[in-house]
Amino acid sequence: TPGIRPLVAGNWKMNGTSASLNELRMIGNGFMSGLDAETEALVCVPATLLSHAAEILSRTPVHAGGEDCHTKESGAYTGCISAEMLKDAGASHVIVGHSECREQRGEDDATVQAKATAAWRAGLVAIVCIGETQQQREAGATLDVLSRQVAGSVPPSATPSNTVVAYEPVWAIGTGLTPTAADVAEAHAHIREKLSEKLGAAAARIRILYGGSVKPSNAVELLGVRNVDGALVGGASLKAADFLGIAEAY
């Protein structure tokens, strides 16, 4: 989208130990040496690696982020991690409402919206994930689902500097399947329209990422689609060569 700096974001999910930090070093080095400065880069890592990741990436243009956060700042929530804790560990962004969290932990739109505002409270950028399931797509409900998720998951005071939206068709995540460029264009245009209805003029500059089986071989096609302002990359972000290959699509 004209005037928008694309964001290429990785999501390591529940992958990575200290041995994986070398890939992160290579990602950081890749962005230092020549990759288009027009592209912003981020790797969201497990909370256990976050402070190491932030330290490694601090000498590079690549940001470190969290993969999820609790809505509360602190308290009796055993095993949970707040946005403030992520910020303290060096995060700049946090993913909220990833389909795996929605599905595996029964997270609804209201919770996702509360997590986005928790992210802002801590000074983090929220990456709000939305996307239809296979069943919803087959039922022809994709655009309705996206309307409902934008209405429910994106806080009404979202701005281009505190919020990124990621369109991730659930059936395309980790499957190697991707929508056609025409389907991606339709979904992103629809999301942009719904954001405009909700947020007004600011919506024109909110980044809408595409996520779901992005790899170097399909990045040029997917990221070249109108209203696609970057990528959220799962599996291919675990290998520096693949992640850098995707970023080179710009």
Binding site for substrate, by residue number, is 11-13, 174, 213, 234-235
Candidate list 66, 131, 212, 230; residue touching ligand PEP; CB under 6 A: 212
63 is annotated as an active-site residue:
no
Which residue sits closest to ligand PEP, CB atoms considered? 234
Q: Does 213 bind ligand PEP (CB under 6 A)?
A: yes
Contacts to ligand PEP from residues 133-172, by CB under 6 A: 168
Least gap, CB of 134 to ligand PEP (angstroms): 14
Least gap, CB of 64 to ligand PEP (angstroms): 16
Interatomic CA distance for residues 238 and 11, integer angstroms: 8
Stretch that binds ligand PEP, among 67-75, 130-138, 194-202, 209-217 (CB under 6 A): 209-217
Residue 33 neighbours by CB distance under 10 Å: 9
Candidate list 85, 184, 233, 244; residue touching ligand PEP; CB under 6 A: 233
Least gap, CB of 165 to ligand PEP (angstroms): 13
Stretch that binds ligand PEP, among 16-24, 30-38, 68-76, 229-237 (CB under 6 A): 229-237
Interatomic CA distance for residues 95 and 119, integer angstroms: 9
Contacts to ligand PEP from residues 1-30, by CB under 6 A: 11
**If you search the block for the tokens 């070398």, which residue do you land on?**
22
103 is annotated as an active-site residue:
no
State the catalytic residue, choosing from 52, 98, 188, 190.
98
**If you search the block for the tokens 């850098």, which residue do you land on?**
244
Query: And the tokens for 152?
Result: 């429910």
Least gap, CB of 3 to ligand PEP (angstroms): 25
Q: Does 211 bind ligand PEP (CB under 6 A)?
A: yes
Least gap, CB of 174 to ligand PEP (angstroms): 4
138's CB contacts (< 8 A; 6+ apart) are none
Stretch that binds ligand PEP, among 30-38, 152-160, 191-199, 227-235 (CB under 6 A): 227-235
Q: Does 173 bind ligand PEP (CB under 6 A)?
A: yes
70's CB contacts (< 8 A; 6+ apart) are 77, 80, 81, 82, 83, 115, 118
The residues of the shown chain that bind ligand PEP, judged by CB under 6 A, are: 11, 168, 173-174, 211-214, 232-236
Residues serving a catalytic function are: 98, 168
